[in-house]
Amino acid sequence: MFRGSIVALITPFRDGAVDEAAFQSLVEWQIEQGSSGLVPCGTTGESPTLTHEEHNRLVDLCVEAAAGRVPVIAGTGSNPTAEAVALTRHARLAGADAALLVSPYYNKPTQEGLFQHFKAVQDAVDIPIILYNIPGRTSVDIRPETMQRLRELPNIVGVKDATSDIARVSAQRLLMGSDFVQLSGEDASTLGFMAHGGHGCISVTANVAPALCAAFQDACLKGDFATALSFQDRLLPLHSSLFLETSPAPVKYGASLIGKCTGELRLPLVPPTEDTREKVRTSMTHVGVLN
Residues involved in catalysis: 132, 160
Q: Is the CB of residue 112 less than 8 Å from the CB of residue 142?
A: no
Helix (H, G, I), strand (E, B) or coil at 248: coil
User: CA dist 30 to 36, 77, 259, Å?
Assistant: 9, 23, 14
Q: What is the DSSP letter of 129?
A: E
How far CA 42 is from CA of 55, 152, 176, 279, 287, in Å, comes to 10, 25, 25, 25, 25
Please state at what angle helix 225-241 crosses helix 274-287, rounded to 10 degrees.
160
Beta strands in 76-187 (DSSP E): 98-102, 129-133, 156-161, 181-184
**Sheet containing 181-184, strands listed edge to edge, beginning at the edge strand earlier in sequence:** 37-39, 4-8, 200-203, 181-184, 156-161, 129-133, 98-102, 73-75
**Residue 25 is which amino acid?**
S
Give yes or no for a contact between 126 and 118, defined as CB atoms under 8 angstroms apart: no
Report how far residue 248's alpha carbon sits from residue 128's, in angstroms, rounded to the nearest whole number.
Answer: 26
87 closest CA partner among 125, 43, 131: 125
